[in-house]
Structure 1
Amino acid sequence: MELLLSGFTHALYLLFSGEKDVYTITLLTLKVSFTAVMISSFIGLPLGGVLGLTSFSGRRFLLVLVNIGMGLPPVVAGLWITMLLWRSGPLGDYSLLFTPPAIICAQVLVSLPIIIGLTCSAFQKLDSQILLHLKALGATRSQAFLILLKEAKIGILAAIIAGFGRIMAEVGAAMMVGGNIQGDTRILTTSIVMEVSKGNFEVALALSFILMILSFTITFFLTFLQQGKETR
């Protein structure tokens, strides 16, 4: 208990003392996390809508792949991204390995299946009569999709929350593709692992409290948005 209290006190000190390294790590964490969840949502919402609303050959196989991807171990995702970005890899000429974009790629890979799968589930739960009514009214595909998107907004926001949670908790892939370089690719999760390996449990606890505060604040906002819209 004393160690937890000391870690929480140290977290407050780091937040309000103007510690440059802590602010750099925190801002980079927010930057890569928001970028990754936006990319995953931009790709995942339409794909989830297609899988949830249409029927075509190979759909079940794609759903199996999505469900497998939802449980993809982060270190596997990190390995795949590393192989792609390695100097001798397909994307090695772009020199992206051990940079923030590499971390974003890994985070997208682990969160995208979650957003696709939960979005698909949200669309599948819609009343089938809604689509028939939209067709009868002559709505175009884009108009129908936007209306259905609004109808499924509760489940879709849940998908985004789950994807964001996976991103914020990710450490293995970020460590592998980012290298945990100070001032460049060091984020909160990788910093916690590093401090634990050095035996600095007080600093690790402080960083963990900062991470939890960020996660709680952002998740609270998204949940408030989700439930607020539900009651209207």
Structure 2
Amino acid sequence: MFEFAAAFERAAALILTWDADLAEIVALSLQVSLTAVAIAALLGLPLGAAVALVRFPGRRAAAVLLSALMGLPPVVVGLVVYLMLSRAGPLGVLGLLFTPTAMVIAQVVLVTPIIAAIARQVVEDLWAEYEEQLRSLGTTPARAIGTLLWDGRFSLVTAILAGFGRASAEVGAVMIVGGNIDHVTRVMTTTIALETSKGDLPLALGLGIILIALSLTINAAAFLAQDLARRSQQ
């Protein structure tokens, strides 16, 4: 109990003094996750909307696939990206393995289905509500994609925040493709795993506290976004 209290006290000191190593790890974590979520949103939002509105062969199967991919095992994604970026892989010539870019790629693969699946449901619900009005204005489903994405922007913020939550908490995939290299690819989740296994609890606890605070902030933001969406529809 005394050792835990001492470790917690040192962890608090690291946060309050904003230790250089801790700050570097947090900054890289946010850089990787925010970049991945931005790319995933650019890909996932129009993809989900297209699956919701555009009629094409296999559309129902595509919708089911998007939902299924929300539960992709991170270690499997990490393995696939590793094989693609390794020297023997098709993208090995780019030399991206064990870099922050490789970690971004892995997180994009994980997050895009989440954003796309939620966007599909949101746009599908909006189309069901406004279809008659939009068709009366001569708008086809494909042309309505931009309008419905904008109309559902508050609900879609929730999708993006859910993606960021998944990305920021990811361990397996980024460990495999990033290598957890000190001062290069070490992020919060991989550092917590490493430092705990080494028995160095203060840094692990400090990063854990920051990660929990980040998670609470994300959930609060998602709640506020949903509340704004409900108010805008009233």
Same fold flag (TM > 0.5): yes
Once the two structures are overlaid, the 10-residue window that deviates more, 101-110 or 213-222, is 213-222
Runs of 4+ in 1 over 4 A off after TM superposition: 1-8, 139-143
Q: Which residue of 1 aligns with 2:102?
A: 102
Displacement, 1:126? 2.2
Displacement, 1:104? 0.5
CA distance in 1: counterparts of 2:136 and 2:3, whole angstroms: 64
Q: Which residue of 2 aligns with 1:117?
A: 117
CA distance in 2: counterparts of 1:50 and 1:151, whole angstroms: 15
| 1:225–1:154 distance in 2 versus 1, CA, 3 Å | closer
| 1:127–1:49 distance in 2 versus 1, CA, 3 Å | closer
1:1-232 aligned within 5 A: 6=6, 8-126=8-126, 128-139=128-139, 144-232=144-232
CA distance in 2: counterparts of 1:202 and 1:185, whole angstroms: 20
Q: Secondary structure at the match of 1:97?
A: coil
Contact 1:131 1:144 in 2 (8 A): no
- Structure 2 unaligned spans of 5+: none
Displacement, 1:139? 4.3
Count of residue correspondences: 232
CA distance in 2: counterparts of 1:219 and 1:70, whole angstroms: 18
| 1:210–1:8 distance in 2 versus 1, CA, 3 Å | farther
Which amino acid in 2 is paired with 1:78? G
Which amino acid in 1 is paired with 2:209? F
TM-score by length of 1: 0.90
Contact 2:53 2:142 in 1 (8 A): no
Alpha-carbon deviations, 1:99-156, whole Å to 9, x = none?
Answer: 0010001111111111111111112222525133223223477763232113333432
Displacement, 1:202? 3.5
CA distance in 1: counterparts of 2:31 and 2:127, whole angstroms: 38
Q: CA RMSD in A?
A: 2.2
CA distance in 2: counterparts of 1:229 and 1:2, whole angstroms: 48
| 1:197–1:87 distance in 2 versus 1, CA, 3 Å | same
CA distance in 2: counterparts of 1:3 and 1:137, whole angstroms: 69
| 1:64–1:222 distance in 2 versus 1, CA, 3 Å | closer
Which amino acid in 1 is paired with 2:100? P
